[in-house]
Amino acid sequence: MESMTDAQNANIEPADAEQNSAIEPKTVDPAQRIRELEAEIGRYKAEQEQSEWKAKVSADTGIPADLLRGDSLEEIQAHAKAIKDYATPKPKAPAVHGVDRHPHGPLPHRAINYIAAAMDPSFFPDR
Residue range 88-111, pLDDT digits in tens: 888 877 666 665 555 555 555 666
Per-residue pLDDT tens digits for 30-64: 999 999 999 999 999 999 999 999 999 999 999 99
Strand, coil or helix: what is 103? coil
Which pTM does this prediction carry? 0.48
Residue type, 24: E
Answer whether 103's CB lies under 8 Å from 96's CB: yes
CA 18 centroid distance within chain: 44
